[in-house]
Each structure stands twice: as C-alpha cells, then as structure tokens.
Amino acid sequence: MTFTILMIVFLVLLPTTVTPYQTILVDNLKTYHRIKLPSSVIGPESLAFDAANEGPYVGVADGRVLKWNGHVQGWTSFAVPPRHRGVSSEECDGNSNISMEAKCGRPLGLQFHKATGDLYICDAYFGLMVVGKNGGVATRLTHEDPRGVAIRFTNGVDINQETGIVYFTDTSTKFQRSAWVWAVATDDATGRFMSYNPRTKEVKVLVENLEFANGVSLSKDGRFALICETTKQHVLRYWLKGHHKYKARKLEVFANLTTYPDNVKRNSLGEFWVGLNSGRGTIHKVKDSETADTEIIGIKYAEGGKVLETLYQNDIMNSVSELVENKGTLWIGSGVAPFVSMF
C-alpha cells in the first residue's frame, strides 16, 4: 500500500506536460455553476436521473427526495419516507437538524431501475426503500438481513438494469448515521455489501467486515461491483460473476487513495467517478503550478483501474460526496451544501 501511495504522489507531482491523465481545477472553469436548493434545505448527498433523463433527483437532509424540473419550475418534492415515521411533513420539511434524521429519514444512495421507472432509495434510518415513477410515499423493502441482524446505516446503491437485482451497502451494524464519526474513529468493521432481489424479496449478505462501507457501483457488464471502504481509504472490487480464473479472491483492492472515498458512480462509457470527501480527514495537498494548495475531490478511473482524470478545487465547495457524469455534464453532490454543483 505504501508503494502504491508513493507512486500516486509521484504521478501527481509530474510536470503537466507528461501527466498521464487530465487534471482539472474546478475554480477555473467558466462552465461551473450551482443550482440552489429550496430555502433551509441542504445535503444533496446522491443524484440520479430517470429513464427520460429528467432530473437530477437528490436526497436531502430533511428526509425528502427532490426533483429538479428546470429553472422555471425549480425543485419539487418527489418522495418521502413511510408515514409511520411518526412526524408530520411540516416538522420535517426544511429541517436539517441531525437530531431529526431518525424520525424524518435521511436518503443517501439513489438509483433508478430504468425498465420499471422505480427509484430505489437507501435511507440511512429506514433501510432500503422504493418509490414508483410518479413518486409519493416510499415503500420499505428491508431493514434486516436473513439472520435478523438489523441494517442500521443503509448507504450506497446500484442496480443491475438487466436482472433488476439491487446492490447496496450497510455502513455499520453498530452505529447509525448520526454517530458516523464513531464508526470512523473506532475503525468499526461491521459494514456489509448486500443484495436484494425484487422478484423473490431475497436479501443476501455478499461481503462482511467492511470498515465504513459506502458507495457502490456496478460495472457496465455487471461482472463486478466497486465498493468504497471509507475508513481504509480505498475502493474494493467484488467479482459478481466471471472473475478471471487466475484471481484467487472474489474481493480485491481496485484503488488505494490518500483521502476518504464517499460514493462511486459509473458513466455511460463504463468509467467510474469516485467522490473524495476530505472533510472526514486530512486534506490531500498537491504542489504543482496548476493545483497548488488545492484539494482533490474526485478521480475518474477506467474499468481496469487506470486513472483517467483528477478533479481539484480551492474553496468553492466545502464537501463532496458524489460525482455523476451525465450527457456531457458533471454533477457534484454534497452531504452538507445548500446547492448542487455542475459543469
């Protein structure tokens, strides 16, 4: 791991004329702009686009999923957790106090099943949920594994668009999102990578003993899934099928990092954007003429693990959770910001 990190630092410090991948400083982009969320609303942690490419849809800190309808109509409420949460919408909507999350919900990972139009939602407190293409009150699908162990911190999600099987993470079986800092501080290793079959309702635990299991994304052909293991500062690859005969394990390290990975999303070409949230740890600094005193917020990888692009910023964003490349635009989510960024 030490050698890998040294190699990454060496490559970053190379002169820009020989850098083997593209480096982008967001601050200098004329195309960068923000879409503000409604008043008092923060935390567009994850973003998704439906089959008609409408959106983005974002999960926010007051428990709702919002839909962006363009500058004329703006944001509208699309989905909410089940009404048995015990509080009214008036108490939750616009209330971003973390003490209310257990009652109001906190949607994290989002992904559409394009064939059905269903939106799958990983709510940190209510578990894996789904809502139909017209939105409304989401249905809770599962909140425990087959052994009866509670899913306490549902986080990242992706879907095999052909089979409909949903893959998701449970960050910890000990700590809920409101106590996430303790999961990191104690090196809690109770995180899991799981699957849910909508046809049979079967839940499977595929990988256990993960340290802060976070974002998840399937490869374009569905052969493997990438899983962000935040505390360990790396991205894992789990072979779902057809892994190479010479590989001894189904689980391997896909990328070692020098800061904390949050979510990972695949683009239409099969490449992966990993969002890096240095707000959870030491800010990774680089020293070259173009990105001096800047913070790395994202890395794009080829399917095989080669770095294709790195994204930096100074102070225009205080936290990055997710990067979604859609139709030539890169959308940036945040767990705390009052806006969605794009360029």
- The closest alpha carbon to 215, from 229, 205, 204, 202, belongs to 229
Q: What is the pLDDT of residues 208-265, one digit of tens each?
A: 999 999 999 999 999 999 999 999 999 999 999 876 555 546 999 999 999 999 999 9
Name 73's Cβ contacts closer than 8 Å, sequence gap at least 6. Answer: none
Output the pLDDT for position 319. Answer: 85
Output the pLDDT for position 7.
Answer: 34
Take residue 140 and report the two structure tokens written for it: 């809770």
Domains annotated for the chain, with CATH where assigned, are 2-15+43-276 (2.120.10.30)
Q: How many CB atoms lie within 10 A of CB 174?
A: 15
- Alpha carbon 105 to its chain's center: 17
Element (H, E) at 339: strand 339-342
Rounded CA-CA distance 57/112 in Å is 10
Burial tier of 254 (Cβ tally within 10 Å: 0-12, 13-18, 19+)? buried
**What span, in angstroms and rounded, lies between the C-alpha atoms of 320 and 263?**
9
- To which residue do tokens 């567009």 refer? 44
Query: Rounded to a whole number, what is the distance in angstroms from the first to the last CA of the chain?
Result: 33
pLDDT score recorded for residue 122? 99
Query: Any idea what the Cα angle at residue 226 is, between residues 266 and 209, rounded to 5°?
Result: 150
**Chain Cα centroid distance, residue 193:** 14
pLDDT per residue, tens digit, the chain (343 aa), is: 433 333 333 333 333 333 467 888 887 778 899 999 999 999 999 999 999 999 999 999 999 999 999 999 999 999 999 865 567 888 999 999 999 999 999 999 999 999 999 999 999 999 999 999 999 999 999 989 999 999 999 999 999 999 999 999 999 999 999 999 999 999 999 999 999 999 999 999 999 999 999 999 999 999 999 999 999 999 999 999 876 555 546 999 999 999 999 999 999 999 999 999 865 333 333 333 344 457 899 999 999 999 999 999 877 776 899 999 999 999 999 999 999 999 9
Other residues' Cβ atoms within 10 Å of the Cβ of residue 334: 25
pLDDT in the model for residue 316: 73
Amino acid 284: pLDDT: 37
Cα–Cα dist 258/276, whole Å: 9
Q: Greatest CA span in the chain, whole angstroms?
A: 59
Supply the pLDDT for residue 203. Answer: 98
Contacts of residue 294, defined as CB under 8 A and 6 or more positions apart, other chains included, come to 25, 285, 286, 312, 313, 314
Omega of the bond prior to 44 within 30 degrees of 0, cis?
no
pLDDT of residue 128: 98
